[in-house]
Structure 1
Amino acid sequence: MPIRTNRGRAAVYRRLWGWPMRSPTHLMGTIILVAAIMIAAGMLVPRLLDDGGTGVASADGPESTADSVPVVSDTGADPTLDREVLPTRLSEPLATPTSAKPAPEALRVAKRWVTAWATPPEDGSVDSWLEGLRPYTTEEFLPQLRTVDPANIPATKVVGEPEVHESYTSSVQVEVATDGPTLLVTVIETDTGWRVTDYSENSG
């Protein structure tokens, strides 16, 4: 039956508050109960707070991550840097060879070189053949001639005089006819004089 008067409620409160004081056993039981409630609350409240904080962090995580990622712009580079390092066009035109009258010494060297080229060595060795070419050949081109077998050269002598194919101030291309193919010989001016730096069989 519910208590409907203030007086009745006050009497009930006095009985509840006075119950622990009735005996040492009641007091001890009350203390243990209160301690148990406080311990349980101390264990549950932090867990509830942690769960709530994690949920909030998870909800805000993607947005905060997106806000913290820096945006790199492709247009951030200085456009003048590329132009300075890699110029788009040449500031000066490339030098072109200057045509000139062929040097007589260049023609003599070309003829002597082809004569040595077409002359087979007495011992048939490559070394002897190269020694005959050495006075008229650049040091850079001489090792490349080592791959040539003198026994396979389809000529034995020069026929006719050298003819100029192209002539510049420091190089001359000369055609020299043999009793086999006609050679197109490139002669350049070096510190030691005119020397042969290349040759090919002229098919024209």
Structure 2
Amino acid sequence: MIRAMVVDDDALVRLGLTDLLDGDDAIEVVAQAVDGLHAVEQASAHRVDVALVDVRMPRMDGIAATRRLRALPNPPRVITLTTFDLDEYVYDALAAGADGFLLKDTDPAEILRAVHLVAGGSAMLHPAAARRVIDRYHHADRLRSTDAARRIEPLTPREKDVLARLAEGDTNADIAERLAMRESTVKSHVSRILTTLDVTNRVQAALLARDAGLTG
């Protein structure tokens, strides 16, 4: 059972998302929050696997909330909710540790699929839109590029191949097919990549890959 939390200052949005998630036999909404500060309190009181977090909220916005949630002893995975696919705040949320994002008008079936994917360890939902956000708002300067290149240097050539595909938004299954590997081997590579780069999720690894010029 996936334990979910819905975080949004709009009561109707919270109600709609909660009804949607609770309609899935494998998902249980264990908490709701009206803003980021409330979300941190709720996540500290309940075990939450996946939190759907709005970006724009009073008291504490979704970016700050994501950072705080990911710093908890048992951090939930975070899906950022936004109204616009090119919202400048989305990149900041990804950099803060979000595992992906959804548009609020996403098809309900896709929202459920997203929760399952993120709960299972995948990230960067809607990869084409994610790439647009990153490309538009992630302008790496020379210092950051140099640091990123230094951080990926310990990776083996094969791990760099995996990281490059990960940065394009490929799932483990996609990477396995493209690189002619077993999916279990891809998972092992991804785990070592995250450890070596000292990042918390695939999104942050993808940002480093782009800073380092590993992918276009």
What is the TM-score with the length of structure 2 in the denominator? Answer: 0.18
Question: Is the radius of gyration larger for structure 1 or structure 2?
Answer: 1
